[in-house]
């Protein structure tokens, strides 16, 4: 949603292709790949207004058995990029493969296909506040009309202006609540309330006798 886009933590991904079997990984080259990706990612976030001191960078790799047509993603700690990198990745790959597929393949070499990072900043501290117009619920009533509900047929139903419903308003269904983007229809067996963020909360009454049938 648009709101989710605005409040999500700023992040960017980087990927470099370098196919190598675990026993012949060029460690200096891998370090160079990650240094370059990290520098680029941090620069992007800083350009977008991020603070370099609050940026977190996570490494991961895409691996597979040689000859397979798909890869699995394995996390990689920054401190693992050393002379034991091949052994570390071998262990982590087998654990992840076993977790996903419940088995391991013996006698087949393992390779890394691509090297990835995700750089992200902190999640924004968003305080949602909606003042709205504090209009009495009765003033939000637009009228009444006959509305058909499958279980009870046509019944008189009050129609409300969504924008006139203030936080804390509570009323019984049936109800039709109209706004520009959509219309909410609540059945006769409901209670509608408006929370502090002006969300509509609809509670449906449960008939215990139905569970006896």
- pLDDT for the residue 186: 96
Query: 103 with 202, same domain?
Result: no
**Overall domain count for the chain:** 2
Q: Residue 39 domain-assigned?
A: yes
Q: Residue 129 domain-assigned?
A: no
- pLDDT for the residue 47: 93
Which of 120, 155, 190 is the C-terminal boundary of a domain? 120
Query: 107 with 172, same domain?
Result: no
Which of 120, 154, 172 is the C-terminal boundary of a domain? 120
Which residue positions in the chain have pLDDT lower than 70?
Answer: 1, 128-137, 207-213
Query: 45 with 86, same domain?
Result: yes
Alpha helical stretches, state H, 59-127: 85-101
- pLDDT for the residue 190: 96
Q: Residue 126 domain-assigned?
A: no
Query: 114 with 145, same domain?
Result: no
Query: 12 with 108, same domain?
Result: yes
Half-sphere exposure at residue 9, Cβ-oriented, CA atoms within 13 angstroms: 14
How many residues are listed for the chain in this entry? 213
The CB density around residue 3, as the number of other CB atoms within 10 Å, is 9
| Parallel/antiparallel/unpaired status of strands 190-194 and 11-21 | unpaired
Cβ-count burial of 157 within 10 angstroms (0-12 exposed, 13-18 middle, 19+ buried)? Answer: buried
Query: 109 with 189, same domain?
Result: no
Q: Residue 132 domain-assigned?
A: no
CA–CA dist 96, 100 (Å, integer): 6
- pLDDT for the residue 128: 66
Q: Residue 99 domain-assigned?
A: yes
CATH number at residue 14: 3.30.1490
Q: Residue 15 domain-assigned?
A: yes
Q: Residue 127 domain-assigned?
A: no
Which pTM was predicted?
0.60
Which of 120, 146, 180 is the C-terminal boundary of a domain? 120
- pLDDT for the residue 129: 62
Query: 165 with 201, same domain?
Result: yes
Query: 107 with 15, same domain?
Result: yes
Share of the chain above pLDDT 70, in %: 92
Q: Residue 189 domain-assigned?
A: yes
CA–CA dist 159, 140 (Å, integer): 9
Task: For residue 165, give the nearest of 193, 191, 184 by alpha carbon.
Answer: 193
What range does the domain containing 115 cover?
A: 2-120
Cβ contact 118:58 at 8 Å: yes
Which residues is 62 bridged to in the sheet? Answer: 73, 114
- pLDDT for the residue 7: 79
Helix, strand or coil, per DSSP, at residue 157: strand
């Amino acid at each position: 949603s648009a709101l989710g886009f605005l409040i999500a933590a700023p992040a960017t991904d980087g990927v470099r292709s370098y196919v190598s079997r675990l026993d012949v990984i060029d460690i200096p080259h891998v370090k160079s790949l990650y240094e370059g990706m990290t520098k680029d990612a941090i620069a992007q976030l800083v350009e977008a207004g991020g603070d370099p001191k609050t940026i977190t960078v996570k490494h991961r790799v895409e691996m597979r058995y040689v000859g397979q047509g798909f890869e699995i993603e394995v996390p990689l700690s920054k401190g693992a990029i050393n002379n034991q990198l091949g052994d570390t990745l071998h262990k982590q790959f087998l654990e992840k493969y076993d977790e996903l597929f419940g088995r391991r393949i013996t006698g087949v070499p393992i390779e890394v296909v691509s090297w990835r990072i995700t750089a992200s900043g902190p999640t924004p501290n968003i305080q949602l506040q909606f003042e709205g117009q504090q209009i009495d619920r009765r003033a939000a009533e637009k009228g009444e009309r006959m509305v058909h509900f499958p279980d009870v047929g046509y019944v008189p139903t009050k129609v409300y202006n969504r924008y006139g419903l203030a936080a804390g308003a509570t009323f019984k269904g049936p109800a039709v609540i109209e706004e520009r983007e959509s219309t909410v229809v609540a059945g006769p067996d409901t209670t509608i309330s408006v929370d502090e963020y002006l969300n509509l909360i609809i509670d449906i009454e449960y008939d215990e006798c139905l569970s006896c049938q």
